[in-house]
Amino acid sequence: MMGWIFSEIMREIGLPDGVLNFLVASGAEAGDYLVQHPKTRFISFTGSMEVGLRINELAAKAMPGQIWIKRVVAEMGGKDSIVVDSETDIEIAVKGVVAAAFGFQGQKCSACSRVIVDKSIYDKFTKKLAKAVSQLQVDNPITDSFCGPVVSAKAEKSILNYIEIGKQEGKLLNGGNKIEGRNGYYIEPTVFADIAPTARLAQEEIFGPVLAVIKSENFEDGLAIANNTIYGLTGAVYTDNKEKLERARRDFFVGNLYLNRKCTGALVGGNPFGGFNMSGTDSKAGGRDYLLLFLQAKSISEKIKK
Give the CATH number, domain containing residue 252.
3.40.309.10
In the set 75, 156, 188, 205, the catalytic residue is 75
Is residue 62 a part of any domain in this protein? yes
Is residue 270 a part of any domain in this protein? no
Query: Does residue 203 register a pLDDT over 90?
Result: yes
Query: Does residue 268 register a pLDDT over 80?
Result: no
Backbone angles phi, psi at 243, to 5 degrees: -65, -35
Q: Say how far residue 271 (Cα) sits from the centre of its chain.
A: 14
Say if residue 66 is in the same domain as residue 95: no
Q: What is the pLDDT of residues 86-116, one digit of tens each?
A: 999 999 999 999 999 999 999 999 999 999 9
Instruction: Average the pLDDT over 33-56 and give the result.
Output: 95
Q: Say how far residue 80 (Cα) sits from the centre of its chain.
A: 7
Say if residue 214 is in the same domain as residue 156: yes
Q: What is the DSSP string of 146-206?
A: SB--BS-HHHHHHHHHHHHHHHHHSEEEE--SB-TT-SSB-B--EEEES--TTSHHHHS--
Q: Output the average pLDDT for the chain.
A: 95
User: Where does the chain show beta strands of DSSP type E?
Assistant: 42-46, 71-75, 80-84, 112-118, 171-174, 190-193, 210-216, 231-232, 234-238, 256-259, 276-277
Contact yes or no for 100/264 (Cβ under 8 A): yes
pLDDT value of residue 256: 96
Is residue 52 a part of any domain in this protein? yes
Domain span including residue 23: 2-76+281-292
pLDDT value of residue 25: 87
Is residue 208 a part of any domain in this protein? yes
Is residue 180 a part of any domain in this protein? yes
Say if residue 259 is in the same domain as residue 167: yes
pTM over 0.85: yes
Instruction: Average the pLDDT over 213-230 and give the result.
Output: 98
Instruction: Average the pLDDT over 214-228 and give the result.
Output: 98
Q: If DSSP codes are grouped into helix, strand and coil, which group holds residue 253?
A: coil
Is residue 84 a part of any domain in this protein? yes
Number of separate domains in the chain:
2
Report the alpha-carbon distance of residue 178 to residue 226 in Å, rounded. 29
Query: Does residue 120 register a pLDDT over 80?
Result: yes
Residues facing residue 236 across a β-bridge: 82, 258
Say if residue 84 is in the same domain as residue 110: yes
- Residue 75 falls in the annotated catalytic set: yes
Say if residue 135 is in the same domain as residue 196: yes
Say if residue 148 is in the same domain as residue 257: yes
Say if residue 56 is in the same domain as residue 168: no
Is residue 301 a part of any domain in this protein? no
Is residue 197 a part of any domain in this protein? yes
Say if residue 242 is in the same domain as residue 208: yes
Report the alpha-carbon distance of residue 236 to residue 177 in Å, rounded. 28
Query: Does residue 269 register a pLDDT over 90?
Result: no
Instruction: Average the pLDDT over 253-277 and give the result.
Output: 93
- Residue 147 falls in the annotated catalytic set: no
Name the strand (E) or helix (H) holding 274. Answer: none
In the set 12, 109, 243, 302, the catalytic residue is 109
Say if residue 217 is in the same domain as residue 88: yes
Say if residue 16 is in the same domain as residue 163: no
